[in-house]
Amino acid sequence: MPLVLGIDTSCDDTGVGVVADGRVLANEVESQTALHARFGGVVPEQASREHLSVLDAVVERALDRAGVSLRDLDAVGATRGPGLVGALLVGLGYGKALAWGLGIPFVPVHHLEAHIAAAVAGAGQDPPFLCLIASGGHTALFAVRAWDAIERLGRSRDDAAGEAFDKVARLLGLGYPGGPALAELAGQGDDHAVSLPRPMQRQEGFDFSFSGLKTAVAIALERDPGLRPEDVAASFERTVVDSLVEVTRRAAERSGLERLVVAGGVAANTRLRRAMDEVGLHATFPPPALATDNGAMVALAAERRIEEAASHQDDALEADAAPYLPLAASGEPSASA
């Protein structure tokens, strides 16, 4: 039973997790939300500096929580991309050095593959399945036919779904990152009170678009400053969720993939969970603590790669941080990292 430590420093949270046999023994996340909130968004240099100053302590906390020591580890995984390059370098460099020092394998992990691994871990689910990833940085639909045969069916042409949540939350004065706060406010509002255009309604493919919707909210607020924030939040949330569900339903129908996995920070949204169910898409969602960025998901992805013996690459220590790293090319199946 390999014991794997995983590190994610792709954006603004320092995540370290420990897993064994698909079970999460520790998942420590040091959030930088307060640091970036006053800027209204993530400041990359600040994020890198913060990762650098806290990572060692977060690793120790994760080991303590798991009740293990460094010497017990069998492998170390770290996110190599996509993400902010300075932030990635902190976790990747630390992970490589730790593995090398302990004389154990190092596994460079794709951030989106880690999100998927977190979503399927509890369900013990293997491909084939359709996967919707909706996070702050990405919104895309993948046909995961096998772990090494992933095809991208569609993606957002502009803002990611989580990014739209954050931007509209900002318009409503909810602070940063606003997704969870907006979702909570939406629960108290009338979701038909504000009429907003459904994005890409007349499009046939599997792409998404959310920046026009954000602009529509801004215009509605400008025209009628008396709108109740909870009604705006509920109407916006319904429109985003309807769009995600509609495109996913179409992709499920056309691809013939019956099982659906939803991953990424927006997978924590309860309305999205309910709406998928209502259209008969029985999806596997990650537990909320594993939905947003964390280290356990990296450890889970690394563990799977080790089991497949795919990680025993001599060049793993040479993997560079990759700020732009597609999970799969559009239209043609390709390797998953």
Measured between its terminal Cα atoms, the distance across the chain in Å is: 24
Residue 127 in the binding site for ligand KG4 (CB under 6 A): no
Residue 17 in the binding site for ligand KG4 (CB under 6 A): no
Residue 295 in the binding site for ligand KG4 (CB under 6 A): no
Residue 55 in the binding site for ligand KG4 (CB under 6 A): no
Q: Please, what is the minimum distance in Å from the beta carbon of residue 141 to ligand KG4? A: 16
Query: Do the Cβ atoms of 7 and 15 come closer than 8 Å?
Result: yes
Q: How many helices (H) and strands (E) are present in the chain, helices listed first? A: 11, 10
- Binding test (CB under 6 A) with ligand KG4, winner from 32, 48, 156, 269: 269
Q: Please, what is the minimum distance in Å from the beta carbon of residue 264 to Zn ion? A: 6
Instruction: Please give the residues from 134 up to 173 whose contact with Zn ion meets the rule CB under 5 A.
Output: 135
Q: 3-state DSSP call for residue 180?
A: helix
Name the one range near Zn ion by CB under 5 A: 127-135, 175-183, 190-198, 231-239: 127-135
How is 218-247 classified by DSSP, letter by letter?
Answer: HHHHHH-TTS-HHHHHHHHHHHHHHHHHHH
- Binding test (CB under 6 A) with ligand KG4, winner from 180, 212, 323, 333: 180
Q: Give the whole-angstrom CA distance, residue 321 versus residue 63.
A: 25
Question: Per DSSP, which regions of the chain are E strands?
Answer: 3-8, 13-20, 23-31, 75-81, 106-110, 129-134, 139-146, 149-155, 260-263, 283-284
Looking only at the bridges linking them, the beta strands covering 129-134 and 75-81 are unpaired
Residue 172 in the binding site for ligand KG4 (CB under 6 A): no
- Binding test (CB under 6 A) with ligand KG4, winner from 293, 298, 304, 337: 293
Instruction: Please give the residues from 293 up to 312 whose contact with Zn ion meets the rule CB under 5 A.
Output: 293
Site string for ligand KG4, 218-257 (x = CB under 6 A): ----------------------------------------
Cβ proximity to Zn ion: between 135 and 156 the closer is: 135
Positions touching ligand KG4 (CB under 6 A) are: 11, 135-137, 162-163, 165-166, 177, 179-180, 183, 264-266, 268-269, 292-293
